[in-house]
A and B are shown apart, each in its own frame.
Chain A
Amino acid sequence: MATQDTCIPTEYKPYGADIKETRPYSPCRAACPAHTDVQAYVGLIAQGKYTEAFEVITSVNPIASVCSMICHHPCEQSCRRCGVDEPLAVRHLKRFAIEQSRDYRRAKRKLVQKTKNKSVGIIGSGPSGLTAARDLANLGYNVTIYERHPVLGGMLAAAIPPYRLPREVLKEDIDDVVTKGIEVKTNFMVGKDATLDDLMKKHDAVLVAIGLSLSRSLNIPGVEGPGVLLAIPYLEDVAFGRKPKLGEKILVIGGGNVAMDVARSARRLGVKNVEMVCLENEQEIPAWKWEVDEAVEEAVKLNYRWGPKAVKRVGDKVKGLEVTKVLSVFDANKRFAPTFDNNVTTLLEADTIIITIGQMSDLSFLKNSAVKVDERGRVEWNPATQMSSAKNVFVAGEVVTGPGSAIAAVANGHRSAIAMHLFLQGESIEGKLPVQEKEKISEMPSEVVEKIGKQPRTKVRHMAPEVRVKTMEHFEEGFTEKEALEEAGRCRGCGGGAVVDQKKCMACLTCLRVCPYGAPVVEAYSTIRPEYCQACGLCAPECPAEAISMVSYDVREIRNTLPTLVGKVDPKRQEPMIVAFTCANHAGILDLDLPKNVKSIPVHCTSRVDVLDMLKAFEVGADGVAIVRCGDGNCKYKDIAPRVNARVKRVQDLLGMLKIETGRVEILSAASNNGGNPYSAACKEFSERVKTIGMRAK
Chain B
Amino acid sequence: MIVGSQKPIDEIWNMVKDFKKVLVFGCNTCVAICHAGGEKEAETIASLIKMKASQEGKSMVVNHMGVMRHCEPEYFEPVIDEVKKYDLVLSTACGVGVNFLSDRTGTVPVYPGINTSFYGAVEAPGDFKELCAGCGNCIVHMTGGICPIARCAKTLMNGPCGGTNKGKCEISKDVDCAWYLIVERMKKLGTLEKLSEIQPPRNWSTSRDGGPRRISVEHIREYEATEEAKGGK
A interface, CB within 8 angstroms of B: 503-504, 506, 508-510, 513, 543-547, 611-612, 615-616, 618-619, 654, 657-658, 660, 697-698
Contact = CB atoms under 8 A, between A and B. Distances in A.
B116 interface: no
Interface in B17-53: 28-29, 32-33, 35, 38-41, 43-44, 47-48, 50-52
Interface in B35-91: 35, 38-41, 43-44, 47-48, 50-52, 54-55, 57, 66, 68
A132 B8 CA distance: 63
A504 B28 contact: yes
9 contacts: A545-B28, A545-B66, A546-B66, A612-B44, A615-B44, A619-B51, A654-B44, A657-B9, A697-B55
B47 A615 contact: yes
Contacts of A504: 28, 39, 66, 68
Which of B47, B50, B66 has the most C-beta atoms of chain A within 10 angstroms of its own C-beta? Answer: B47
B8 A506 contact: no
Nearest to B55: A698
B231 interface: no
A657 B48 contact: yes
B54 A698 contact: yes
Interface string B175-190: 0000000000000000
B125 interface: yes
A544 B43 contact: no
Contact of B47 (A508, A547, A612, A697): A612
A547 B32 CA distance: 11
B38 A698 contact: no
B41 A698 contact: no
B58 to A, nearest CB: 11
A509 B124 CA distance: 11
Q: Which 7 A-B pairs have the closest CB atoms?
A: A544-B38, A545-B28, A544-B32, A615-B47, A508-B33, A546-B39, A657-B9
Choose among B28, B50, B125 the residue with the greatest number of A CB atoms under 10 Å from its CB: B28
B55 A546 contact: no
B79 to A, nearest CB: 13
Contacts of A544: 28, 32-33, 35, 38-41
A698 B53 CA distance: 10
B218 interface: no
Nearest to A657: B9
A545 B32 CA distance: 6
A658 B29 contact: no
B48 to A, nearest CB: 6
B115 to A, nearest CB: 15
Contacts of A657: 8-10, 48
A543 B28 CA distance: 10
Contacts of A513: 125
A697 B68 CA distance: 38
Contacts of B9: 654, 657-658
B33 A506 contact: yes
A381 B50 CA distance: 65
A365 B113 CA distance: 79
Nearest to B29: A506
Nearest to A614: B47
A698 B52 CA distance: 9
Most A C-beta atoms less than 10 A away, residue of B10, B32, B39: B32
A650 to B, nearest CB: 9
